[in-house]
Amino acid sequence: MSGSPVIARTWGMYKALDGNNMLAPGAHSKFLGVYSGRLPTQDPLEAQIGLVWPAVYIDEIVTGGVQENG
């Protein structure tokens, strides 16, 4: 699952890029970021929290040409 896009999908009302609430028919999707793993737990039955790189960081990496060394 690592590297998977994380998307919020709503139907009807959604928040526009300018921050206003909009009401429109159909589904609306927003890219939130990229899934990168989860926080480990001691108990396998305990809920595990997923970690996501926010979309703004992905944009910075892509536009800035940042590469990992190693």
Q: Domain residues for 29? A: 5-40+47-64
How many structural domains are present in the chain?
Answer: 1
Does some domain include residue 70? Answer: no
- Spatial strand order in the sheet of 50-54: 5-15, 21-38, 50-54
Does some domain include residue 23? Answer: yes
- Poorest-pLDDT segment among 43-47, 56-60, 66-70: 66-70
pLDDT at position 18 is 87
Mean pLDDT of 33-53: 86
- Note if the pTM is more than 0.75: no
**CB-based contact 13:27 (threshold 8 Å):** no
pLDDT at position 25 is 79
Report percent pLDDT > 90 for the chain. 17
Does some domain include residue 69? Answer: no
**CB-based contact 29:55 (threshold 8 Å):** no
